[in-house]
Amino acid sequence: MSRVRVVTDSTAQLDPNLVQELEIIVLPLEISFGPQKFREGVDLSLDEFFRRVAHSPVIPVASAPTMEEFRQVYAGLSQTTDQILSLHVANQLSNTCRNARDAADHFLGRCEIVVVDSWTISLGLSILVEAAARDAMKGVNLDEIVRLVRGMIPHVYAVFFTEALDYLEREQHLSKSQAMLGTMLGIRPFLAIEEGEIIPMEKVRTREKAIDKLVEFVGEFSRIEQIAVVQSPRAAGKDARLLLDRLQSNFPAYDFGTITYGPTLGTHIGPYGLGLIVYEGIE
């Protein structure tokens, strides 16, 4: 039986060396600033995205890879394998999974393609993709890899706060009245990604209170396998350092990494987000 091949998308923000080592196929999402269009991670870097956000009069929009782009990738892979796992950004945040499933339908009876909604994004998706690809390299079959990934998904958590209420309103994570009231009162929503959807959990009035909530969130776990502070360059100064200092002081047993979130997540939470992604592991 041929080896499983793993397909994902650019929202996973995978290290290019890891992509090459594990032979992962990555389809880029498209980021649009009005008529200007860029491929995430290909001709739009993180620095360039946030620079454009700072100077553009329009809120950027992320678009999924098309069904035809998926069909072409699957057609190429099906020449050498009959097992494909296509693991993608949360369906609530992008049409990527929908387009992948539509493309996979064209290969019924010729190649087994399983499309999995990760319910997450950024580091959360990266953790799942790497685990799947490492098992694929070992020759583990598709059913077992899918079982592994689906078992991991409920153990990935993401929480954020942001001041960019216009972004949340545009993506319908907040109603227009909620966004207007939040702006008037200086309220910052504390957000969680639950089953792939960005959900406002609480309201905080200061960034200091928001950082308190992030620290409290870590304290809810009895075990953590991987954790990272997720920030933007616009929020990477005092707030991120304060959060890291608090986390390292309160939870010295954990190794806290720091990553900059990508353009697609930026189109949802804006340029001032700060948060955490946690994988607690499977006992």
What is the CATH number for 185? 3.30.1180.10
Beta-bridge partner residues of 227: 256, 278
My answer on whether 64 and 114 are in the same domain is: yes
Rounded CA separation 145/78 (Å): 18
Q: Are residues 37 and 78 in the same domain?
A: yes
Query: Collapsing DSSP states into helix, strand and coil, what is residue 194?
Result: strand
C-alpha 163/C-alpha 168 separation (Å) is 9
The last residue of a domain, from among 153, 170, 202 = 153
Give the residue numbers spanning the domain of 56.
5-153
Whether residue 143 sits in one domain with residue 9? yes
Distance of CA 114 to CAs 71, 89, 111, 270, Å? 13, 14, 10, 32
| Together in a domain, 73 and 47 | yes
Domain end position, chosen among 153, 187, 219: 153
**Nearest Cα residue to 30 out of 38, 42, 18:** 38
Same domain, 97 and 165: no
* Cα–Cα dist 209/104, whole Å: 46
Residue 116: strand pairing partners: 87
**What pLDDT digit, counting tens, does each position of 210-261 carry?**
899 999 999 999 999 999 999 987 656 778 888 999 999 999 999 998 999 9
Yes or no: say if 265 and 234 are a contact pair by the CB < 8 Å rule.
Answer: no
pLDDT in tens, 135-182: 999 999 999 999 999 999 999 999 998 876 666 665 555 444 354 444
Residues 225 and 253 in one domain: yes
Q: What is the pLDDT of residues 31-85, one digit of tens each?
A: 999 999 999 999 988 889 988 988 888 889 999 999 999 999 999 999 999 999 9
Measured CA to CA, the distance from residue 92 to residue 110 in angstroms comes to 29
Task: Name 26's bridge partners.
Answer: 8
Residue 35 neighbours by CB under 8 Å, 6+ apart:
none
Q: Are residues 201 and 127 in the same domain?
A: no
DSSP label at residue 40 = B
The verdict on pTM exceeding 0.75 is yes
Q: Are residues 147 and 242 in the same domain?
A: no
Can you spell out the DSSP letters for 87-140?
Answer: EES-TTT-SHHHHHHHHHGGGTTT-EEEEEE-S--THHHHHHHHHHHHHHHTT-
> Are both 146 and 183 inside the same structural domain?
no
* For the chain, percent of residues with pLDDT exceeding 70: 89
Q: Percentage of residues in the chain with pLDDT exceeding 90? A: 69
